[in-house]
Structure 1
Amino acid sequence: MTQPFNQAKGTAIRRASRAGLVMLVLDVLLVAANLRAPITGLSPLIDDIRQATGIGNALAGLLTTLPLLAFAVFSLIAPKLARRIGIERTLYMGLILIAFGLIFRFLAPVWMLFVGTVFAGVGIAMGNVLLPGLIKRDFPDNVGIMMGAYAVVMNGIAALASGISVPLADELGLGWHGALSIWLLLTVVTLLIWIPQLRLQHKPSASASLNGKGMWRSSLAWQVTFFMGLQSLMFYTMIAWLPSILKVEGFSESTAGWLLSLMQFVSLPTSFLTPIIAGRFKGQRSLVTVIEIGLLISFLGLLIGNTWVSVISVLIFGFVGGASFSLATMFFVLRTKTSHQSAELSGMAQSIGYLLAAIGPTLIGLIHDITTSWSVPLILLVITAILFWLAGMGSGKNTYVE
């Protein structure tokens, strides 16, 4: 039976046994493992899909944009749905949508590939928004560790998916259909293991969550939103265009691809450590400044164009990129007082953030086409990094969304 939300009571129920706590940790990490692989596993297979189906470059590009648009729209809906049926059931619904999306991708008609991508994007949006709130509620004494573990698992499986998609399709003979759908096994396991959590669902009381309109009128909420949005724009722009930038600088296509994968793997240590460090301080402005310095060095290094400087720049971006994402999600927890406020702020920030992420790569690509150079796009990324720092100075203050 659904119970009125009570954070202390909910935590006590979850911690009734050590086995129950271990199972909850496993459940959270399994959900996190489902939140990137269906997307990052798609990009390396775009050329195979285009050749096999005959779709043009525009439709092929839409496959990578659709999930981000789904994030932007359904990030706002997820907190409202959680207030009605509880976080647990909403997360479970998201996993079901991811499963259906992966099944649709396996089917032959090409239009099912687009439908499946949208379904998966909607399900992932629910997990993106609600997991930080659930962690805040059920792990109040270990928020930093759990947020770090969540980020590491999500980004680690994402990097793995990028690396093994082509071998799965070509060397194991699964084809692009099979390589895209292999992650269904992980989703099904998560669905089965999550079932016991459905017995412990919580709805917020009237006083537990900040009114949605109030959140959108909060200057602090907007600063956190722009911090999240600008880091998303920079990250997805680099994901989209870094190989092209590196090839212009003299790297082979294979080397550029490996550097992109390496960039994601080196983000894992800072993805884990940043929330732990952030949680130990009342304010996080110094952490924001360290990340900012790294971003500026990485973009300016790519602008110089020297081979070894570019390699170092990619590695630095990986380190600070992982830190910036983890800090952005940590702000959802640190700048709110309840788990449902955290979900509301997460929904607002990720909605705007992923909309910027969807626009960024297209805009940067257009500017490159106009200027026939990567210099102007990289200068714009430097400006974006400065705006990111300004938003971080506001987000890093020791205060709460009111």
Structure 2
Amino acid sequence: MPSSTRTRRTRTTTAPGSGRRADALTLVGLILLALNLRAAITGIPPVLATLQSALHLTGAQVGVLTTLPVLCLGVFAPVAPALARRVGTETVLAAALGLILAGILVRTLPTQAALFAGTLLAGAGIALGNVLMPAVIKRDFPDRIGTMTGLVMTLMAATGALAAGLAVPLTTAGGWRTALTVWAAPALAAATAWTLLAARRAPHRPQATSPLPAARTAPRASVLRSPLAWAVSALLGIVSLCFYVLVAWTPQIMRDAGYPAAEAGAMTSVMLTLGIPLGLAVPVAAARVTDQRPLVVTVIALKAAGLTGILLAPQQAWAWTGVLGVAIGAAFPLAMTILGLRSPDPATAARLSAMAQAGGYLLAGCGPAAFGILHALTGSWKTPILLLIACTVPELLVGLVAGRPGFVGAR
């Protein structure tokens, strides 16, 4: 291994504040956190038609409902590092999971206001958890970034796929409220675990529990001034945009292509399920090399191929959704791993995570609505899918910058 590589890895694993060793409860808390960062979002699109009928939602309200969670991820992401520095990471994560739990329960009330209010609460909680998760990994598992990122990405993909796959059967068996309420159980378990961690850390100063011990020596502006940070943020944004558009609209695209509703939902579930093994394998593979650009090129090529296949040969939709499942299943874990690898310390990881997710998810939040508007204006899915294919070009360009060796803030 070249000496420069050894230097980079030493810097990553021994930066200030990254030397704490995690205990079993922290690991359990991280696992439970990951279980709650997808299901509250992916469980909604398969039952949109049922919700629209039961709560008399207009087409515009349905569009807002699909966009609101992703916008929340962008709007609330910037506050996470500041809250963690002020009151401690464990406390913020306990509160975030409490918001997710409250949101799940509130939106099961049979009113439009409750549906939107609950979605807002859950989205805010998921945003806080999304931002602090990479920083916790950097702080407590500095020598296992790839493995731990892979673990949480796998769990996120598994619960996202499970929520999408069970939504219609649970709605058929017990109604849409049952399909949404079931995810309150893991949220309660996770909130309990992080509350225990917060109580255990309470005697210590908040800075000791935060993943941001180097914040005073690394000015926040340095992240905003870094071209590499902007490349990482843009990569995560485009990856997220494509992911949430496909999660929101794949069932409808397949129904309009002639597939039954149950089969269209199953395609979405399979597409998400393929991300489960990739969520573990891709971060591990990415962390073992200093240059992630070959992985970036491969993943984007698969995404372009899958989208082109759906556009030109929808009769082979199962094959193309499989290709897309591999592409989007690898893309998000790869982007999150690159975020951790480009961060020299936990403080930078938290700030870069907030920057990337704020800008990235605000961009992604426009995706489902814009996709739906384009479909309504053109009367077909051709133009929206062509736009997604076009997005792979800037995704490749920023991915080539984000994937090359280096650290945010390094000269």
Identify the residue that residue 363 of structure 2 maps to in structure 1: 356
TM-score normalised per structure 2: 0.89
Matched, 1:226 2:234: yes
Q: Against the structure 1 CA distance between its residues 278 and 241, is the aligned structure 2 distance closer, same or farther, given a 3 Å change threshold?
A: same
Which string of whole-angstrom CA distances, capped at 9 and with x for unpartnered residues, describes residues 80-108 of structure 1? 11121121111111011112212212334
Q: Secondary structure at the match of 1:10?
A: coil
Match of 2:343 among 322, 336, 342: 336
Structure 1 distance, partners of 2:19, 2:88, is 15
* 8 Å contact from structure 2 (residues 275, 326) kept in 1: yes
* 8 Å contact from structure 1 (residues 209, 340) kept in 2: no
Identify the residue that residue 97 of structure 2 maps to in structure 1: 95
Q: Against the structure 1 CA distance between its residues 101 and 241, is the aligned structure 2 distance closer, same or farther, given a 3 Å change threshold?
A: closer
Structure 2 distance, partners of 1:290, 1:105, is 40
Structure 2 distance, partners of 1:179, 1:188, is 16
Number of residue equivalences = 387
Q: Against the structure 1 CA distance between its residues 146 and 209, is the aligned structure 2 distance closer, same or farther, given a 3 Å change threshold?
A: farther
Identify the residue that residue 332 of structure 2 maps to in structure 1: 325
Matched, 1:147 2:160: no
Matched, 1:215 2:220: no
Q: Secondary structure at the match of 1:302?
A: helix
Structure 2 distance, partners of 1:116, 1:283, is 41
Structure 1 residue runs of 4 or more that deviate by more than 6 Å after TM superposition: none
Identify the residue that residue 271 of structure 2 maps to in structure 1: 263
Identify the residue that residue 42 of structure 1 maps to in structure 2: 44
Q: How far off is 1:291 after superposition?
A: 0.7
Identify the residue that residue 382 of structure 1 maps to in structure 2: 389
State how 1:157-236 maps to structure 2 within 5 Å: 157-171=159-173, 173=174, 175-198=175-198, 199-200=200-201, 201-203=208-210, 204-205=212-213, 210-236=218-244
State how 1:66-77 maps to structure 2 within 5 Å: 66-77=68-79
* 8 Å contact from structure 1 (residues 7, 138) kept in 2: no
* 8 Å contact from structure 1 (residues 332, 343) kept in 2: no
TM-score normalised per structure 1: 0.91
Match of 2:296 among 288, 293, 305: 288
One-letter amino acid of the structure 2 residue matched with residue 331 of structure 1:
I
Q: How far off is 1:218 after superposition?
A: 1.2
* 8 Å contact from structure 2 (residues 213, 347) kept in 1: no
Identify the residue that residue 132 of structure 2 maps to in structure 1: 130
Q: How far off is 1:208 after superposition?
A: 5.8
Which string of whole-angstrom CA distances, capped at 9 and with x for unpartnered residues, describes residues 272-291 of structure 1? 11100000011101110111
Identify the residue that residue 59 of structure 1 maps to in structure 2: 61
Q: Against the structure 1 CA distance between its residues 142 and 224, is the aligned structure 2 distance closer, same or farther, given a 3 Å change threshold?
A: same
One-letter amino acid of the structure 1 residue matched with residue 116 of structure 2:
F
Which string of whole-angstrom CA distances, capped at 9 and with x for unpartnered residues, describes residues 123-144 of structure 1? 0101111011101111112111
Q: How far off is 1:55 after superposition?
A: 2.5
One-letter amino acid of the structure 1 residue matched with residue 388 of structure 2:
L
Q: Against the structure 1 CA distance between its residues 365 and 291, is the aligned structure 2 distance closer, same or farther, given a 3 Å change threshold?
A: same
Query: What is the identity percentage for the equivalent residue pairs of Structure 1 and Structure 2?
Result: 36
Q: Secondary structure at the match of 1:251?
A: coil
